[in-house]
Chain A
Amino acid sequence: TQLLEQSPQFLSIQEGENLTVYCNSSSVFSSLQWYRQEPGEGPVLLVTVVTGGEVKKLKRLTFQFGDARKDSSLHITAAQPGDTGLYLCAVGGGGFKTIFGAGTRLFVKA
């Protein structure tokens, strides 16, 4: 059983559509991070959320941390082909260790 469950696993949409992906757990976390991984590259940190209910925006991306700090969502408005990639959520695993979810693979068609 994964500590972090991400859904959907795969999403293919047309350019201009909106979408939301989710990261869920039964555990409470002090913070949660979202990474994006483009094909052939390593993950890159997008955002860190630390407060229950917190909303952070990064251009067309909106991140929300659940009130109980057990889950998070990532909403993309007017998706573009450049948004294509694997979106990973991650939490601290004790010390400096990080635990990653399996990711949502997004494909945006032009």
Chain B
Amino acid sequence: VTQNPRYLITVTGKKLTVTCSQNMNHEYMSWYRQDPGMGLKLIYYSVGAGITDKGEVPNGYNVSRSTTEDFPLRLELAAPSQTSVYFCASIQTGGAYNEQFFGPGTRLTVL
């Protein structure tokens, strides 16, 4: 799972996109944010191309899934409260249990 950029500094009100790609042909992908001491919170997830749904903390974010491989995360109006580390993940399913594969993370600072 690859994410870009790895680091991003922007200002309040800007629009930005973080890309995520996977080459494992996984149908299920998700976006999380990780704040200090808070673990991972699910923002949005997708169960296949053309299908997305809200997670626990979707406000201020948007996603799309036009292909199996790509699942970009968009911030339409960046806010300081969105300063966080963002992780994209894809899930391998079909076995006895599901395994999530995470990208390396994108550290976002909104000034």
* Contact B45–A96 (Cβ < 8 Å): yes
Judged by a CB distance under 8 angstroms, whether B58 is at the interface is no
A9 touches B (CB below 8 Å)? yes
A-B interface contact total, Cβ < 8 Å: 57
Q: Which listed residue, B37, B39, B91, B97, touches A100 by the CB 8 Å rule?
A: B39
Q: Once bound together, how far apart are the Cα atoms of A100 and B56, in whole Å?
A: 12
B102 close to A43 (CB less than 8 A): yes
Mask, A11-52, CB within 8 Å of B = 1, is: 000000000000000000001010000001111110010100
Shortest Cβ gap from B106 to chain A (Å): 10
Q: How large is the interface on B (under 10, 10 to 19, 20 to 34, 35 or more residues)?
A: 20 to 34
* Residue of B39, B55, B99, B105 contacting most chain A CB atoms (<10 Å): B39
Complex CA–CA separation, A43 to B105 (angstroms): 10
Judge whether A102 and B39 touch: CB under 8 Å: yes
The answer, yes or no, to whether B9 is at the interface (CB within 8 Å) is: no
- Does the CB pair B37–A9 fall under 8 Å? yes
Minimum CB–CB distance for A109 against chain B, Å: 21
Q: Which residues of B lie under 8 Å from residue A43 when comparing CB positions?
A: 40, 87, 100, 102
Q: Known contacts A48-B97, A96-B45, A97-B45; is A42 also within 8 Å of B102 by CB?
A: yes
> How far in angstroms is the closest Cβ of chain B from A67?
20
Interface residues of A in 72-110 (CB under 8 A from B): 88, 92-93, 95-103
Please name all residues of chain B whose beta carbon is closer than 8 Å to the beta carbon of A101 when the two chains form the complex: 39
Could you name 30 residue pairs across A and B whose Cβ atoms are closer than 8 Å? Answer: A2-B39, A9-B37, A31-B97, A33-B97, A40-B105, A41-B105, A42-B102, A42-B104, A42-B105, A43-B87, A44-B102, A45-B99, A48-B96, A48-B97, A50-B97, A88-B40, A92-B98, A95-B47, A96-B45, A96-B98, A97-B42, A97-B55, A98-B30, A98-B42, A98-B98, A98-B100, A99-B42, A100-B39, A100-B41, A103-B39
> Interface of A with B (CB < 8 Å)?
2, 9, 31, 33, 40-45, 48, 50, 88, 92-93, 95-103
